[in-house]
């Protein structure tokens, strides 16, 4: 995802940047004739500057955020993004490739735009051919046969699938269980729905599901559990026995399961199992995915939710009022993408395995404790050997002294202490960039640390 955050589209206001500026001139930056209040904000973790006109002599506009999003308004991502560009750091924080998607898919989009007749609003829940292609690929992956017309909803990325699912199926006051560390849109989406987030922490080195804690998290108020496999940021692929435990608890407590599988084609070790494919689960599961990660087209934002009709109804209702429909020509091109031959996926894994090996070996060689990922394009490490007080301090050091940007994972936990020893690197970059990054770590990080000790 753009910026260091690798995450869902969202506006993030940096209160620290704001207060720094505000201290310069009471928050007002003057230019001839106009009074401007400058606001630092981040779109997908990318720092942006916007100038908001304010009338002469008035107080600076107060940053206003609805209560349901108040807790998300300050973020370390903005600060890190600014630092990274200031120091010209190699960006291994970004969760999106620095290379483009396949030509055959891009050409299909160009043709769809040129063709005519494919540029107006699409059918709300998807271009029929795309719904059919999604149903086909879901069948291939999970063994489940679904009716594309009543079980598949095309959304604007998986992010919107998550939002439409939560907003369409969960009531204020309901509880949603989420494993942490978590992809950051989950917490904000749960907050927007008025539901209550119940977290269960997976801890290094295995990031295993703690069975007793999970059992204890379920209650009569539990509406759903949100599972992300393969998992961002840990790179864990949930093993079958953990998914079976989750399934049995969902059935025992009659709860729903929301499954985010955007990295399902990026598995290096073990097998990806769809929770929906386990006995008795399809009827209570929403499986969400998107084109972005698999086809290196994160900017297209084509996603989907597959669920039985009794759940699809709520998802489609929310989707109708969130976005109604998503980009028509890109939906047509996505049909081509989903019908890619098996060789495409084999090549994808081969190429990502090579990238993973470069980064994992490099990180090992400089002295991190590396938790080798089984899936996704992220790798988590423990930075303790370098003696920093926490992940934020270490990431700042990494940018300023080594020239590498990474993500401080404490932001993926409700209690930041749980992530303070960790750092997340992304390897969705061309091999040259990864090799240069490793070289910087070898020369600069090692040298800097040995000088300070
Ligand atoms: C776990 C997870 N889910 C969902 C998304 C967002 O997917 P999309 O870009 O399709 O909205 C991301 C992107 O980083 C992700 O890591």
pLDDT value for 384: 94
Q: Is the pLDDT of residue 143 over 90?
A: yes
Cα 354 to averaged position of ligand 1 atoms, centre (Å):
23
pLDDT value for 59: 83
Q: Report how far residue 80's alpha carbon sits from residue 3's, in angstroms, rounded to the nearest whole number.
A: 9
Q: Which residues are CB-contacts of 292 (< 8 A; sequence separation ≥ 6)?
A: 96, 157, 158, 262, 298, 299, 300, 301, 302, 303
Which protein residue has the closest C-alpha to ligand 1 atom 14? Answer: 7
Which of 318, 339, 360 is the endpoint of a domain?
A: 339
Q: Is the pLDDT of residue 406 over 70?
A: yes
pLDDT value for 451: 53
Residue 216 and residue 299 in one domain: yes
Q: What's the pLDDT tens digit per position in 263-311? A: 999 999 999 999 999 999 999 999 999 999 999 999 999 999 999 999 9
The residue with greater pLDDT, 11 or 417, is 417
Cα 36 to averaged position of ligand 1 atoms, centre (Å):
35
What confidence tier does 74 reach under pLDDT thresholds 50, 70, 90? low
In a domain, residue 124? The reply is yes
Across 76-85, 91-100, 196-205, least confident range: 76-85
pLDDT value for 79: 75
pLDDT value for 51: 44
Residue 276 and residue 251 in one domain: yes
Q: What's the pLDDT tens digit per position in 177-186? A: 999 999 989 9
Cα 364 to averaged position of ligand 1 atoms, centre (Å):
27
Residue 438 and residue 355 in one domain: yes
Residue 439 and residue 319 in one domain: no
Cα 369 to averaged position of ligand 1 atoms, centre (Å):
26
Computed over its alpha carbons, how large is the radius of gyration of the chain?
22
In a domain, residue 246? The reply is yes
For residues 99-108, give the mean pLDDT.
97
Q: Report how far residue 211's alpha carbon sits from residue 37's, in angstroms, rounded to the nearest whole number.
A: 51
Q: What's the pLDDT tens digit per position in 207-244? A: 999 999 999 999 999 999 999 999 999 999 999 999 99
pLDDT value for 33: 31
What are the C-alpha distances in Å from 353 to residues 290, 375, 376? 21, 10, 10
- Which residues pair with residue 423 across a beta bridge? 381
Q: Which residues are CB-contacts of 171 (< 8 A; sequence separation ≥ 6)?
A: 194, 195, 223
Residue 429 and residue 331 in one domain: no
Write b or e for each residue in 80-106: b if 16 or more Cβ atoms lie within 10 A of its Cβ, otherwise e. bbbbbeebebbbbbbbbbeeebbeebb
Report the candidate in 331, 333, 281, 335 with the shortest Cα–Cα distance to residue 306: 281
- Which residues pair with residue 177 across a beta bridge? 198, 225
Name the domain count of the chain.
2
Please give the number of the atom of ligand 1 that sits closest to the Cα of 156.
11
Domain range for 138: 103-339
- Say if ligand 1 is within 6 A of residue 166 CB: no
Please give the number of the atom of ligand 1 that sits closest to the Cα of 162.
4
Q: What's the pLDDT tens digit per position in 189-198? A: 999 999 999 9
pLDDT value for 116: 82
What stretches of 92-210 show up as alpha helix (H) in DSSP? 103-115, 128-142, 148-151, 157-169, 185-193
Assign residue 140 the CATH number of its domain. 3.40.640.10
Cα 395 to averaged position of ligand 1 atoms, centre (Å):
23
Q: Report how far residue 266's alpha carbon sits from residue 272's, in angstroms, rounded to the nearest whole number.
A: 9
Residue 95 and residue 138 in one domain: no
Residue 333 and residue 372 in one domain: no
End-to-end CA distance of the chain: 36
The two tokens of residue 77 are 């991502």
Residue 310 and residue 427 in one domain: no
In a domain, residue 204? The reply is yes
Please give the number of the atom of ligand 1 that sits closest to the Cα of 9.
11
DSSP assignment of 323-363 equals TSS--HHHHHHHHHHHT--HHHHHHHHHHHHHHHHHHHHHH
231: three-class secondary structure by DSSP: coil
Residue 276 and residue 216 in one domain: yes
Instruction: Decide the pairing of beta strands 222-228 and 175-180.
Output: parallel
Q: Is the pLDDT of residue 11 over 80?
A: no
Mutate to test the pocket of ligand 1, among 160, 227, 259, 293 (most ligand atoms within 8 A of CB): 293
Report the candidate in 65, 72, 18, 67 with the shortest Cα–Cα distance to residue 41: 18
Cα 84 to averaged position of ligand 1 atoms, centre (Å):
22
pLDDT value for 47: 39
Which protein residue has the closest C-alpha to ligand 1 atom 16? Answer: 232
Using CB atoms within 10 Å of the CB of residue 58, give its burial: 0 to 12 exposed, 13 to 18 middle, 19+ buried.
exposed
Q: Which residues are CB-contacts of 247 (< 8 A; sequence separation ≥ 6)?
A: 257, 275, 278, 279, 280, 281
In a domain, residue 19? The reply is no
Q: Is the pLDDT of residue 15 over 50?
A: no
Assign residue 419 the CATH number of its domain. 3.90.1150.10
Q: Report how far residue 8's alpha carbon sits from residue 162's, in angstroms, rounded to the nearest whole number.
A: 10
In a domain, residue 2? The reply is no
Using CB atoms within 10 Å of the CB of residue 22, give its burial: 0 to 12 exposed, 13 to 18 middle, 19+ buried.
middle
For residues 321-328, give the mean pLDDT.
97
Which of 298, 322, 339 is the endpoint of a domain?
A: 339
Which of 287, 304, 339 is the endpoint of a domain?
A: 339
Q: Which residues are CB-contacts of 311 (< 8 A; sequence separation ≥ 6)?
A: 169, 256, 284, 286
Q: Report the side by side order of strands in the sheet with 256-260.
A: 152-156, 302-306, 285-290, 256-260, 222-228, 175-180, 196-201
Residue 352 and residue 373 in one domain: yes
Q: What is the pTM of this model?
A: 0.87
- Say if ligand 1 is within 6 A of residue 295 CB: no
What confidence tier does 452 reach under pLDDT thresholds 50, 70, 90? low
In a domain, residue 49? The reply is no
pLDDT value for 5: 37
Cα 290 to averaged position of ligand 1 atoms, centre (Å):
8
What are the C-alpha distances in Å from 237 to residues 304, 332, 335, 410, 426? 21, 31, 27, 21, 16
Residue 179 and residue 296 in one domain: yes
Residue 194 and residue 313 in one domain: yes
In a domain, residue 18? The reply is no
Q: What's the pLDDT tens digit per position in 30-72? A: 233 333 333 333 434 433 444 445 455 678 888 889 999 988 8
Quote the mean pLDDT of the chain. 87
Which protein residue has the closest C-alpha to ligand 1 atom 9? Answer: 157
pLDDT value for 215: 98
For residues 417-421, give the mean pLDDT.
96
In a domain, residue 54? The reply is no
Q: Which residues are CB-contacts of 408 (< 8 A; sequence separation ≥ 6)?
A: 76, 80, 390, 391, 392, 394, 395, 419, 422, 423, 424
pLDDT value for 35: 31
- Say if ligand 1 is within 6 A of residue 292 CB: yes
């Amino acid at each position: 995802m753009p910026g260091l955050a690798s995450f869902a589209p969202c506006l993030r206001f940096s209160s620290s940047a704001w207060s720094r500026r505000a201290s310069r001139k009471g928050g007002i930056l003057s230019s001839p004739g106009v009074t401007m209040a400058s606001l630092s904000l981040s779109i997908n973790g990318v720092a942006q500057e916007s100038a908001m006109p304010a009338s002469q002599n008035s107080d600076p506009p107060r940053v206003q955020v609805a209560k349901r999003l108040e807790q998300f308004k300050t973020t370390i991502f903005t600060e890190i993004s600014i630092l990274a560009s200031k120091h010209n750091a190699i960006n291994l924080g970004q969760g999106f490739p620095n290379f483009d998607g396949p030509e055959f898919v891009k050409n299909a989009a160009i043709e769809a735009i040129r063709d005519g007749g494919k540029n107006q609003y699409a059918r709300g829940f998807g271009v029929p051919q795309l719904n059919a292609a999604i149903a086909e690929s879901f069948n291939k992956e999970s063994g489940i046969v679904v009716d594309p017309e009543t079980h598949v909803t095309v959304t604007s990325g998986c992010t919107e699938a998550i939002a439409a699912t939560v907003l369409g199926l969960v009531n204020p006051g309901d509880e949603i269980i989420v494993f942490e560390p978590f992809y950051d849109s989950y917490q904000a989406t749960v907050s927007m729905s008025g539901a209550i987030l119940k977290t269960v922490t997976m801890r290094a080195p295995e990031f295993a599901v703690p069975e007793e804690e999970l059992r204890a998290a379920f209650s009569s108020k539990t509406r759903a559990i949100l599972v992300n496999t393969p998992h961002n940021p840990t790179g864990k692929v949930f093993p079958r026995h953990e998914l079976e435990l989750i399934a049995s608890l969902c059935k025992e407590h009659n709860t729903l399961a929301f499954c985010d599988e955007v990295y399902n084609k990026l598995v290096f070790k073990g097998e990806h199992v769809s929770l929906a494919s386990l006995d008795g689960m399809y009827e209570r599961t929403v499986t969400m995915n998107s084109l972005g990660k698999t086809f290196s087209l994160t900017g297209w934002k084509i996603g989907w939710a597959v669920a039985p009709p009794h759940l699809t109804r709520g998802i489609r209702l929310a989707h109708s009022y969130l976005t109604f429909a998503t980009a028509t020509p890109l939906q047509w091109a996505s049909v081509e993408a989903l019908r890619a031959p098996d060789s495409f996926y084999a090549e994808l894994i081969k190429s990502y395995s090579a990238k993973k090996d470069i980064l994992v070996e490099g990180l090992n060689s400089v002295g991190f404790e590396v938790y080798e990922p089984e899936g996704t394009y992220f790798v988590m490490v423990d930075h303790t050997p370098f003696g920093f007080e926490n992940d934020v301090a270490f990431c700042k050091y990494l940018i300023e002294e080594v020239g590498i940007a990474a993500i401080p994972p404490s932001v993926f936990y409700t209690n930041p202490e749980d992530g303070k020893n960790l750092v997340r690197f992304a390897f969705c970059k061309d091999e040259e960039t990864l090799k240069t990054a490793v070289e910087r770590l070898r020369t600069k990080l090692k040298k800097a640390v040995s000088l300070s000790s």
